[in-house]
Every structure is written in structure tokens, then in C-alpha cells.
Amino acid sequence: MRFAFFGFLLAFVSHAVAADDAGRPAAVSSAATNDLVWLTDLEAAKKQAAAEKKGILVAFIGSDWCVWCKRLEKEVFSTDEFKAQKDFVLVALDFPREKTLPEDVRARNEALRKDWKTGGFPAVVLLDAEGRPYARTGYLPGGPKKYLDNLSYLRGLDNEIGRKAFFESSAEKEAREAAYKEKLGVLINAGNFDAVCEHIDAHFKHERGGKVLAAFNKCLMSEVLDPNDKSRALKYVEEAIAEGEVLGNEPLMNFFRMKRMRIRNGQ
């Protein structure tokens, strides 16, 4: 029963971490951003990225209706800090409601949105220089520094495992999660905390927010295996808080801080 409760907590935290061609964002035109160039053709972006040895950032936006897209543009994309980034070729794929895109452009944008399962708006997908997607994000509060820190963090997923995980189906993910939890239960029953930590690290290594999830999982498992070792549990929740700052997810951080307070209070 207790393990089931911790399974609920893990699911909550995982969900919180995983949360968001003629058209450019209206305020992200080259004129509005001092010649910051947003391409509208992914194939052209791939050629440029290959030549410049850069990654590709693709923003799926609703330029004339999406409030959060406009906030992302105002708070991040239009800032001097973001304009100075040199890691990505930028692509904006628009899904307007008040204007009509050419049919070939609309169809091309929609096909990518479907293939990459971007969901809501804004959606930001990171690709390697060959145009292979490996990570996704969206709007994050906190301004350009936090956003750029998060992009830097996500670049760590630019590998074979990250690219495979990007296209992982719901059924495949559920099967992987089930296998992870089954082995985790065996290791917990054996009382081997070091083995539990190794299993957790291996599972979350290539996931967005993986370090955060791994640290918090270790905190929870520490309490399961030895409820009296408050210092060890506190160590891992502090690690989760430190790693989580870059994600810009204040509700999640508040959850971690509440957990820290409860540990300190012996709850």
C-alpha cells in the first residue's frame, strides 16, 4: 500500500516536469527583433544548420490568437539575451486563425505538428543539425536566462536515446514505466538502496528533467527504506530543488519545498 502511494507521488512529479511558413510570430519579424531571423521552411533550416554546425529550434505558434505564444515572444524571443544565442537556427511554424496560409504551407506545418505530437501552443521542438528531433518544451516563466538555461539543459538529450524517446508511443512508455516500477519494487524489497539509486539514475538519465526526477525519487525511496534517516532524504530533496530551478516550474518547486519542510519537521 505504501509503495502504491509513492507511485502516485512519482506520477505527479513526472507529469509536472513533462508539462507545453508564411507566418512568423507578428512580433518576431526581423524588423521587430533587430534582424533576428526566423525561417519558415524546415528544409532550408536544415541546410543552414548543417553548414553552421548548429541545432534547430522550431517554434509552433498561433501568431494572431495564442496568448502564451505572445508572452513567450515578449519575455524571451524578443530579448537581447535570446538574440545573442548562437546554438540554434530558428524556425517559426504558424497556425493563425485570422489569416489564411497558402495550402501547401498549412499542410506542411500541420504534418510536422502531427508527426511530432506537439499538442498545445506554444510548442518548441529542438532538433540536431540533421533535423532529427530530440526534445520539446513550451512557454516557461522566468525570462530569457531561465529559458536559455533550460534549452542548454535539453541539449543534453541530443543523443540516440533522446531521439528514440521523442517518438516513443504511449504504449511503449507505459511498458517501460511498468518494467521500471517492477524492478524498483524488487530492489526495495531487497533493501539495497545503492542498487535502487543506480536503477533510478539509469531510468531517468535521458529524460527531460531527469536529474530532478532522479533526485526526488531517491528522496522518496530513502524514506521507504529507512524512514529514520532524515539527513539522507533531505540531501536528495535539496538536490531536486537545486536541479529543478532551471525548469522554471514554480508549482513543482513549491511541492519540493513543502516536502523539504515536512522532512525537517519529522513528518
Reduce the secondary structure of 33-81 to three states and give it as a string. CCCCCCECCHHHHHHHHHHHCCEEEEEEECCCCCHHHHHHHHHHHCCHH
Distance, CA of 179 to CA of 181 (rounded, Å): 6
The correct CATH number of 21-139 out of 3.40.50.1820, 3.40.50.620, 3.10.105.10, 3.40.30.10 is: 3.40.30.10
Residues 124-130, mean pLDDT to the nearest whole number: 92
User: What is the tens place of the pLDDT at every residue in 141-185?
Assistant: 889 998 998 898 888 778 777 777 777 766 777 787 888 889 999
C-alpha span between 208 and 158 (Å, rounded): 11
Q: What is the pLDDT of residue 35?
A: 63
Beta strands across the sheet bearing 55-61: 88-94, 55-61, 123-127, 133-137
Mean pLDDT (the chain) is 82
Binned at pLDDT 50, 70 and 90, residue 208 comes out as low
- Cβ contacts of residue 162 below 8 Å, gap of 6+? 134, 135, 156, 206
119 or 28, higher pLDDT:
119
Domain 2-17+169-264 has CATH 1.10.10: no
What's the average model confidence in pLDDT over 22-32? 37
Q: How confident is the model at residue 21 (pLDDT cuts 50, 70, 90)?
A: very low
Domains 2-17+169-264 and 21-139 share a fold: no
Place of cell 528531433: 133
Neighbours of 135 (CB within 10 A): 24
pLDDT above 50 (res 71) = yes
Q: What percent of the chain has pLDDT over 70?
A: 82
pLDDT at 25: 37
pLDDT digits (tens, 9 = 90+) for 51-67: 999 999 999 999 999 99
Axis crossing angle, helix 250-264 with helix 2-18, rounded to the nearest 10? 150
For the ranges 56-60, 97-101, 164-168, 252-256, the one whose mean pLDDT is highest: 56-60
Q: Is the pLDDT of residue 39 over 50?
A: yes
pLDDT over 50 (residue 20): no
**φ and ψ of 8, to 5 deg:** -65, -45
- Antiparallel, parallel or unpaired: β 55-61 and 133-137: unpaired
Q: Which three cell numbers stand for residue 213?
A: 526526477
- Residue 55 zone, left/alpha/beta (φ > 0; ψ -120 to 50; rest): beta
* Residue 111's pLDDT band (cuts 50, 70, 90): very high
Domain ranges of the chain: 2-17+169-264, 21-139
For residue 243, what pLDDT band results from cuts at 50, 70 and 90? Answer: confident
